[in-house]
């Protein structure tokens, strides 16, 4: 939970953008896994995988955000988070460092931010030379849920 | 939450549920002492425990209802519905307070005064002024139950005293049995009580003080009284005297038992104690008569004193004495049911966790087994086998812990039905059978609400008022029967009422209003189909919204809930007679056996339960996928099964692209959805595996094609297919494909309803659409024209090692000159013929209602099929054309009975069938009379017509076949006439039902051979018998 010191965030990159997820929300960081695809599922659902006996639904974040497949190939990394009691693994390009950031320095999403990012970002931190967008899992999966139903 | 409170809540909730049920029983059987004792004990326990935990609201309510129950038990009051209603009301209040407690750990605010007043009023025999208030007074903060909760010095003396004045402690049921004077707590109307005469609180306080001081110093009695703290002792004596003088014997007994906590207190000691007490009475100058009365009161507690002493363990000293008494009391009041406790309470969460872990263990075990299997002869084999065995047993054991009798889900129903009956002024009997049938807890939880809803529905809408019932000639009390039993890995639950049934015309009106169907559509529907609209979303049958139903939950929710757990629900209703719902649910959701299949190199699991059979279709094998236009079908034992390709459904496509050749080595999983059977074509079939079904992630829940996912032995995740979903999804998956139209046909095939028929459409002659019922068609062939020869002026072809005559369909001018000729093959007994047509168009599901009956040979008439006029051909005509001796053979076939001139009555609402059968039976030599509904048949009976045999359809609007059979067989001139049922359903169950109703035989529609055989057989049997 939020301490006076601030939050620790696991950072990752997707299509060049630096993203962060609170470290406590992250259950696992996975390298590429054997994934069973789910025919008929929305494109951004990569499939399901077995994580130590738990079935985890893999979300292709590139698809989810509307980016095409990775240009240079490379292996996907995944970050496992829990949403409404179910584990989801978010496939991203690369996992970075863990940063400790002060709560006070978090800012609202700037209006100039790419609409796609704004939709899934809870807020941003200004780092040296770039912005760290804090990924709102609720919005990534919640709105996705709505999208399937629609 | 406090452990103690938690325990209390669980226990009390259970007790309350039992009381609910028992009270309803009691109402029906007011003299059942056993039931009454049981209720009394439970309520008493609840009251006692609340007192122990310091829950004044609960205790006062429980106490007041206990009073009433006590009077029931002692015969002072008779058990009346109104009294029971008030007691039930108090139980509801208790539940309400309990739920508040559960949420906040505090008793919720609220005024129980009126309720308690009502209860007291009943306890007093209904005198309004006797309605007492004190028990509900707000200052009842702590009602100590002496001898239980108290520890020395914990409760201030005055508080204790006051509490005792105002509310009696919990009754002791042992003593209450002897002379249960459950006196209303604050009965102040009795002015002449000992309490007032003795001088009230002040005098009692003095007496208590004197006794408390003197007794411990008494030469002989001292040892019995010195174990208790002075203040407490004084308080206890004060309580004892107060309750004694107030005539509250139960409380007095309690206190006495707690005072005498040392063994060895016998009659002699009690006499001494009484003498001492009398001395005190004298000392405080009680009037003579008061003194005598008081002395007599003492006798009342003699037993309690002795008992208290006897029951206490020898070692008690000081505080332990009180504690011991508390235990003792708890033991008496608390563990009411004296069953030796061989079971313990385990939290459901723990069980769920256990189950999950066992599931994981099973998966890991499977994984290990697979690894060991790959390496023969290694040191792990034996231990792993042992592990495997143990795991299996563990799994079974844990599964068992989850099994619960379905009666648990029913526990609340008697109360609900009873309340409804009172509210609605109906007489309803609830008959529950098979309550011990066990099923998985999870399933049980999910089925509970739908069941409750349905029973509520039956009581509210189904059962009529007694007056209505009597007017209809039914017994004045309605019956709702709940029946649960096992059937082939499923649990069947039936909810049957003998009420008014579902009025099809009302449903029809409503369906129209809601725009669920058009007039024309409704016209085509049978009554049963219309009735099934109650399962439609947004459909509520309640003509008026009553307080009982009309909560916005309709049967559609029930259906959805049941389908969610893989169950099905069906309904049959006869207007005026009643309604039966049948629910079929799986035993458990957790572990199922599944068939692993492959499509496009991906593996999927299909639950075994939905697999009817597995067919391999390959070149040269008996089975082969045929195509009607572009619709693939499989002919299986003379039935054409529509097929769906899993590849296509799942969007892998390659579909038809594989062409007919590649598709020739396929596996077909024959599956059944509802009454409809179809085949799923897959690339490969592996073995079956026990799988642990895990739900799919919520974000995928809209993919109805999957019922879950699981981890296989090799550690990979696999999706579990849901055949229901496959049927539904058949069309959407191939959106954009060029054969969308055909898919539409497929969907129509899959969503077949029971009244429509499968029809094969073909073209013969220019713009001439013709149709033939698909079940009559044995095979479809494309025959090379070269192979068709002429013989004896007729076209024949060598077909399956025999010569098959080919007849040109009406409208066809000649066979093709080159290429291939489309031929429909019909088979009847030994006769096989081909009908040459121009083109096979399609297979459709439609209501083949003959609009214009044709006089033209070879044609039954015209029908609107697929919105186009279509001629329905008469197969019998062509058979007769092909074989001169076909008609004769008919005679031979049926010569077992003199069929010529045999009069047959056919009752069928479908003009199509009537027209279909008429020529068939006529050529067989029967003389046929057709009517289109059951009543018409009965009219014929009245007119004095006689028949040698009656054939009746089962599903008919108005009176159905079963009912007709029942009436015919009961009496009248047709009672001995053989009766043959004709139905689209011919499962063993239907057969059974048919026979039970009085049918001599039960034939599937379209099975002409069986029909003719049956007819002649029945007639023969009848003649023989006659």
Nearest-by-Cβ selection for B697 from A34, A40, A88: A88
CATH at residue B648: 2.30.30.40
Instruction: Name the strand (E) or helix (H) holding B781.
Output: strand B777-784
Q: Which of B717, B731, B735 to mutate to test the interface with A (most CBs of A within 10 A)?
A: B717
- Confidence bin at B818 (pLDDT 50/70/90): confident
Range in B285-294, B833-842, B972-981 the model is least confident about: B285-294
Rg (CA), chain A: 15
Whether pLDDT at B924 is above 70: no
CA dist B880 and B887 (Å) reads: 6
**Percentage with pLDDT > 90 across chain B:** 1
Q: Using beta carbons and an 8 Å cutoff, which residues of A are at the interface with B?
A: 34, 36-41, 45, 47-50, 53, 55, 57, 84, 86, 88, 141, 144-145, 148-149
B703 interaction partners in chain A (CB closer than 8 Å): 38, 40-41
Instruction: Summarize the confidence of residues B332-345 as an average pLDDT.
Output: 50
pLDDT band at B604 (very low <50, low <70, confident <90, very high): very high
Higher per-residue confidence, B1007 vs B367 = B367
If pLDDT is split at 50, 70 and 90, which confidence band does B312 have?
low
State whether B422 and B515 are in the same domain. yes
- Report whether pLDDT(B150) > 50: no
Write down the H helix ranges in B691-762: 723-729, 740-750
pLDDT at residue number B172: 40
DSSP A38: -
Residue B347 has pLDDT above 90, yes or no: no
Beta bridge partner(s), residue A60: A91
- Report pLDDT for B188: 39
Whether the pLDDT of residue B732 is over 80: the answer is no
- Reduced to 3 states (helix: H, G, I; strand: E, B; else coil), residue A130 is strand
Q: Do A148 and B711 touch (CB under 8 A)?
A: no
Q: Does B185 reside within a domain?
A: no
Number of structural domains (chain B) is 7
Measured between CA atoms, the residue of chain B closest to residue A38 is B719
Within-domain flag for B164: yes
Does residue B183 form part of some domain?
no
A42 → chain B, closest CA residue: B700
B423 plus B554 within the same structural domain = yes
Q: Which residues of B touch A (CB under 8 A)?
A: 360, 363-364, 602, 650-652, 694, 696-700, 702-703, 705-706, 709-711, 715-719, 729, 733
Q: Which of B747, B780, B811 is the last residue of a domain?
A: B747
Long-range contacts of B192-198, Cβ-Cβ distance < 8 Å, separation of 24 or more: B193/B245, B193/B246, B193/B247, B194/B244, B194/B245, B194/B246, B194/B247, B194/B290, B194/B293, B194/B294, B194/B297, B195/B242, B195/B245, B195/B246, B195/B247, B197/B287, B197/B290, B197/B293, B198/B245, B198/B286, B198/B290, B198/B294
Chain B interface, best mutation among A53, A147, A148, by max B CB count within 10 A: A53
Strand partners, B835: B807, B824
For chain A, the average pLDDT equals 81
Mean pLDDT comparison of A37-41, B249-253, B588-592, B825-829, highest-scoring range: A37-41
B550 pLDDT above the threshold of 50: no
Is the dihedral angle over the CA atoms B915, B921, B924, B925 positive or is it negative?
negative
* Position B341 in a domain: no
Is it the case that residue B743 has pLDDT exceeding 70?
no
Mean pLDDT of B817-837: 79
Q: Do B711 and A149 touch (CB under 8 A)?
A: no
Pair B399, B490 in one domain: no
Mean pLDDT of B13-29: 79
Specify if B546 maps to a domain: yes
B532 with B443, same domain: the answer is yes
Query: Residue B760 pLDDT more than 60?
Result: yes
**CA-based end-to-end distance of chain B:** 81
pLDDT digit string, tens, across residues B409-466: 888 888 888 888 888 888 888 888 888 888 887 788 888 888 888 888 888 888 888 8
Q: Which residues pair with A92 in a beta bridge?
A: A77
CA nearest neighbour of B836 among B816, B806, B865: B806
CB contact under 8 Å between A55 and B698, yes or no, is no
Q: Determine, for residues A141 and B709 on separate chains, whether the beta-carbon distance falls below 8 Å.
A: no
pLDDT at B352 over 60: yes
Domain CATH code at residue B819:
2.40.50.180
E strand map for B284-333: none
ipTM score assigned to the predicted complex: 0.85
A-chain residue closest to B359, CA distance: A53
B868-873, strands of its sheet edge to edge:
B839-846, B757-763, B769-773, B868-873, B859-865, B850-853
A139 to chain B nearest CA, in Å? 12
**pLDDT for residue B927 is more than 90:** no
pLDDT band at B262 (very low <50, low <70, confident <90, very high): low
Whether B372 is in a domain gets the answer yes
Same domain, B115 and B73: yes
Structural domain harbouring B499: 407-586
Residue ending a domain, choose from B314, B336, B358: B336
Phi, psi angle pair for B160, to nearest 5°: -60, -45
Residue B739 pLDDT > 60: no
pLDDT of residue B605: 92
Structure-token pair, residue B355: 């189950």
Cβ–Cβ below 8 Å for A45 and B733: no
Same domain, B276 and B290: yes
Q: Which helix (H) or strand (E) holds B33?
A: helix B33-53
Least CA distance to A40: which residue of chain B?
B650
pLDDT score for A6:
60
Signed CA dihedral, B206, B212, B218, B224: sign only = positive
Does A86 contact B697 at a Cβ distance shorter than 8 Å?
yes
Shared-domain flag, residues B313 and B354:
no
How far B714 CA lies from chain A's nearest CA (Å)?
11
Q: For residue A48, list chain B residues with Cβ-Cβ distance below 8 A.
A: 696-697, 709, 717, 719
Burial tier of B901 (Cβ tally within 10 Å: 0-12, 13-18, 19+): exposed
Quickly list DSSP for B407-433.
HHHHTTHHHHHHHHHHHHT--EEEEEE
Least confident window among A16-20, B219-223, B272-276, B279-283: B219-223
Question: What is the sign, positive or negative, of the torsion defined by CA atoms of A68, A71, A75, A81?
Answer: negative
Compute the average pLDDT of residues A95-119: 83
pLDDT greater at residue B910 or residue B959: B959
Same domain, B728 and B804: no
* Chain A / chain B CB contacts < 8 angstroms: 64
Same domain, B517 and B636: no
Decide which of B882, B913, B939 is a domain's last residue.
B882
Q: Which of A36, A54, A138 to mutate to probe the B interface, most B CBs <10 Å?
A: A36
Element of type H or E holding B58: helix B56-73
Give the Cα separation of B649 and B705 in Å (integer).
9
pLDDT band of residue B94 (cuts 50, 70, 90) is confident
Average pLDDT over all residues of chain B: 73
pLDDT value, residue B850:
62
What does the pLDDT read at residue B329?
Answer: 44
Nearest to A80 by CA among A57, A98, A99, A61: A57
Tell me the nearest-neighbour CA distance from B353 into chain A, angstroms: 14
The lowest-confidence range among A94-98, B87-91, B545-549, B839-843 is B545-549
Nearest CA in chain A to B699: A145
Closest CA to B694 of B711, B674, B676, B671: B711
Strands B777-784 and B789-791: unpaired
DSSP state of B110: -
Residues B737 and B636 in one domain: yes
**Is the pLDDT confidence value at B309 over 70?**
no
Judge if B159 and B299 occupy the same domain. Answer: yes
Q: What average pLDDT does range B654-683 have in this prediction? A: 67
Residues of A in contact with B710 (CB under 8 A): 55
Mean pLDDT of the region B326-343: 45
Residue B598 β-bridge partners = B603, B684
Cβ distance of A45 and B700 shorter than 8 Å? yes
Lowest model confidence (mean pLDDT) among A56-70, B379-393, B525-539: B525-539
Q: What CATH number does residue B400 fall under?
A: 1.10.287
Where b means 16+ CB within 10 Å and e means fewer, A131-150 reads bbbbbbbeebbeebbeebee
Q: Do residue B699 and residue A45 have CB atoms under 8 angstroms apart? A: yes
Nearest CA in chain B to A53: B360
Residue B936 has pLDDT above 90, yes or no: no
Per-residue pLDDT band for B342 (boundaries 50, 70, 90) equals: low
Residue B855 has pLDDT above 70, yes or no: no
Confidence of residue B985 (pLDDT cuts 50, 70, 90): low
Q: Is B851 exposed, middle or buried (0-12, 13-18, 19+ CB in 10 A)?
A: exposed
The pLDDT, as a whole number, for residue B660 is 43
User: Does B700 sit within 8 Å of A41, measured CB to CB?
Assistant: yes
- Name the residue ranges covered by the structural domains of chain A: 7-144
Average pLDDT rounded to a whole number, residues B401-415: 83
Q: Where is pLDDT greater, at B599 or B534?
A: B599
- Considering the domain architecture, whether residues B558 and B427 belong to the same structural domain is answered as yes
Give yes or no for residue B251 having a pLDDT over 80: no
First to last CA, chain A: 34
The class that CATH gives domain A7-144 is mainly beta
Asked if B680 and B644 count as a contact pair (C-beta separation under 8 A), the reply is yes
Q: Do A36 and B703 touch (CB under 8 A)?
A: no
- Is B135 a residue whose pLDDT tops 90? no
Probe site for chain B from A37, A43, A48, A51 (most B CB atoms < 10 A): A48
CA-nearest residue to A150 within chain B is B702
- In b/e form, how buried is each residue of B119-149, taking b as 16+ CB within 10 angstroms? bbbbbbeeeeebbbebbbeeebebbbbbbbb
Residue B676: burial class (beta carbons within 10 Å; 0-12, 13-18, 19+): middle
Q: Which chain A residues contact residue B696 at CB under 8 A?
A: 48, 57
Element (H, E) at B195: helix B194-198
Residues in a beta bridge with A134: A20, A123
Distance from CA of B616 to the nearest CA of A (A): 24
pLDDT at residue B340 greater than cutoff 60:
no
């Amino acid at each position: 939970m939020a301490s006076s010191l601030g939050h620790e965030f696991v950072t990752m990159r997707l299509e060049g953008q630096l993203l962060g997820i609170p470290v406590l929300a992250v259950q696992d960081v996975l390298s590429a896994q054997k994934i069973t695809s789910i025919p008929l599922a929305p494109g951004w659902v990569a499939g399901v995988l077995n994580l130590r006996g738990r079935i985890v639904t893999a979300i292709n974040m590139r698809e989810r955000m509307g980016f095409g497949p990775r240009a240079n190939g490379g292996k996907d990394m995944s970050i496992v988070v829990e949403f409404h009691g179910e584990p989801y693994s978010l496939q991203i390009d690369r996992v970075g460092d863990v940063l400790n950031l002060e709560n006070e320095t978090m800012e609202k999403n700037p209006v100039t931010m790419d609409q796609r990012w704004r939709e899934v970002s809870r807020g941003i931190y200004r780092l040296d030379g770039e912005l760290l967008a804090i990924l709102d899992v609720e919005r990534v999966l919640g709105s996705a849920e709505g999208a399937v139903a629609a | 939450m406090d452990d103690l409170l938690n325990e209390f809540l669980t226990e009390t909730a259970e007790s309350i549920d039992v009381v609910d049920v028992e009270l309803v029983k009691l109402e029906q059987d007011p003299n059942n002492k056993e039931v009454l004792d049981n209720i009394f004990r439970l309520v008493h326990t609840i009251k006692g425990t609340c007192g122990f935990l310091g829950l004044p609201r609960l205790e006062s309510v429980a106490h007041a209802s206990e009073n009433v129950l006590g009077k029931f038990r002692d015969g002072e009051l008779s058990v009346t519905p109104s009294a029971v209603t008030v007691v039930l009301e108090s139980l509801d209040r208790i539940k309400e307070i309990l739920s508040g407690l559960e949420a906040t750990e505090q008793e919720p605010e609220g005024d129980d005064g009126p309720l308690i007043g009502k209860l007291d009023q009943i306890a007093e025999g209904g005198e309004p002024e006797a309605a007492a208030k004190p028990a509900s007074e707000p200052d009842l903060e702590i009602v100590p139950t002496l001898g239980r909760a108290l520890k020395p010095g914990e409760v201030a003396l005055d508080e204790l005293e006051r509490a005792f004045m105002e509310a009696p402690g919990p009754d002791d049921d042992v003593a209450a049995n002897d002379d249960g004077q459950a006196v209303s707590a604050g009965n102040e109307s009795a002015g002449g009580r000992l309490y007032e005469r003795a001088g009230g609180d002040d005098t009692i306080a003095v007496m208590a003080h004197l006794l408390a001081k003197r007794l411990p110093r008494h030469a002989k009695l001292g040892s019995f009284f010195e174990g208790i703290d002075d203040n407490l002792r004084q308080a206890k004596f004060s309580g004892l005297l107060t309750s004694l003088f107030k005539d509250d014997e139960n409380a007095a007994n309690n206190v006495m038992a707690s005072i005498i906590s040392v063994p060895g207190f016998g009659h002699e000691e009690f006499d001494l104690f009484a003498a001492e007490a009398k001395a005190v009475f004298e000392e405080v100058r009680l009037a003579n008569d008061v003194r005598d009365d008081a002395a007599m009161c003492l006798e009342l507690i003699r037993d309690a004193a002795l008992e208290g002493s006897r029951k206490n363990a020898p070692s008690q000293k000081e505080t332990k004495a009180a504690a011991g008494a508390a235990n003792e009391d708890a033991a008496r009041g608390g563990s009411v049911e004296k069953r030796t406790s061989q079971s313990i309470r385990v939290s459901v969460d723990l069980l769920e966790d256990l189950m999950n872990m066992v599931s994981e263990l099973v998966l890991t075990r499977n994984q290990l087994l697979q690894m060991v299997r790959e390496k023969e002869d290694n040191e792990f084999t034996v231990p792993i086998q042992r592990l495997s065995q143990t795991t299996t047993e563990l799994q079974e054991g844990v599964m068992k812990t989850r099994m619960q009798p379905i009666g648990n889900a029913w526990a609340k129903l008697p109360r609900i039905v009873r309340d409804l009956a009172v509210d609605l002024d109906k007489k309803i009997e609830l008959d529950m059978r098979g309550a011990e049938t066990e099923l998985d807890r999870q399933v049980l939880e999910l089925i509970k609400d739908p069941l409750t809803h349905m029973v509520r529905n039956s009581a509210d809408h189904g059962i009529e008022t007694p007056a209505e019932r009597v007017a209809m000639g039914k017994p004045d009390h309605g019956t709702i029967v709940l029946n649960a039993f096992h059937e082939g890995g499923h649990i069947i639950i039936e909810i049957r009422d003998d009420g008014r049934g579902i009025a099809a015309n009302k449903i029809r009106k409503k369906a129209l209003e809601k725009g669920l169907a058009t007039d024309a559509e409704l016209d085509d529907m049978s009554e049963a189909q219309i009735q099934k609209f109650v399962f439609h979303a947004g459909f509520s049958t309640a003509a008026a919204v009553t307080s009982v139903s009309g909560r916005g939950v309709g049967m559609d929710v029930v259906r959805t809930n049941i389908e969610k757990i893989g169950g099905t629900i069906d309904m049959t209703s006869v207007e005026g007679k009643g309604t039966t719902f049948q629910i079929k649910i799986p035993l458990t959701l957790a572990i199922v056996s599944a068939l692993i299949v492959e499509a496009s190199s991906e593996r999927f699991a299909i639950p075994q339960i939905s697999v009817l059979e597995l067919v391999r279709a390959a070149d040269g094998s008996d089975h082969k996928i045929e195509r009607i236009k572009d619709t693939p079908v499989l002919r299986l034992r003379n039935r054409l099964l529509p097929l769906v390709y899993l590849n296509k459904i799942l969007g892998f496509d390659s579909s038809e692209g594989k062409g007919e050749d590649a598709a020739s080595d396929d596996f077909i999983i024959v599956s059944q959805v509802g009454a409809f059977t179809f085949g799923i074509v897959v690339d490969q079939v592996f073995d079956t595996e026990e799988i642990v079904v895990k739900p799919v992630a919520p974000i995928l829940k809209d993919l109805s094609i999957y019922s879950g996912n699981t981890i296989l032995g090799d550690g990979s995740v696999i999706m579990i297919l849901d055949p229901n979903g496959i049927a539904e999804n058949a069309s959407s998956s191939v959106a954009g494909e060029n054969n969308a139209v055909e898919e539409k046909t497929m969907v129509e095939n899959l969503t077949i309803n029971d009244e429509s028929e499968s029809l094969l459409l073909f073209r013969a002659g220019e713009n001439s659409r013709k149709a033939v019922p698909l079940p009559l068609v044995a095979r479809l062939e494309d025959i090379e024209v070269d192979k068709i020869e002429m013989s004896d002026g007729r076209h024949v072809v060598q077909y399956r090692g025999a010569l098959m005559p080919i007849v040109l369909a009406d409208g066809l001018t000649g066979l093709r000159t080159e290429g291939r000729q489309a031929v429909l093959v019909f088979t009847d007994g030994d006769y096989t013929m081909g009908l040459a047509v121009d083109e096979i168009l399609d297979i459709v599901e439609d209501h083949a209602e003959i609009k214009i009956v044709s006089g033209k040979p070879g044609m039954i008439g015209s029908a609107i099929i697929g919105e186009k006029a279509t001629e329905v051909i008469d197969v019998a005509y062509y058979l007769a054309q092909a074989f001169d001796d076909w008609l004769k053979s008919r005679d031979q076939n049926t010569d077992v009975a003199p069929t010529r001139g045999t009069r047959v009555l056919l009752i069928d609402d479908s003009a199509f069938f009537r027209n279909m059968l008429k020529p068939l039976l006529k050529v067989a030599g029967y003389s046929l009379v057709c009517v289109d509904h059951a009543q018409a048949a009965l009219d014929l009976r009245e007119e004095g017509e006689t028949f040698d045999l009656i054939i009746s359809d089962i599903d008919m609007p108005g009176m159905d076949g079963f009912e007709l059979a029942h009436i015919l067989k009961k009496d009248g001139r047709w009672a001995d006439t053989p009766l043959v049922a004709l139905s689209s359903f011919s499962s063993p169950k239907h057969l059974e039902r048919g026979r039970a109703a009085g049918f001599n035989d039960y034939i599937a529609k379209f099975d002409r051979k069986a029909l003719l055989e049956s007819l002649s057989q029945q007639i023969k049997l009848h003649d023989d018998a006659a």
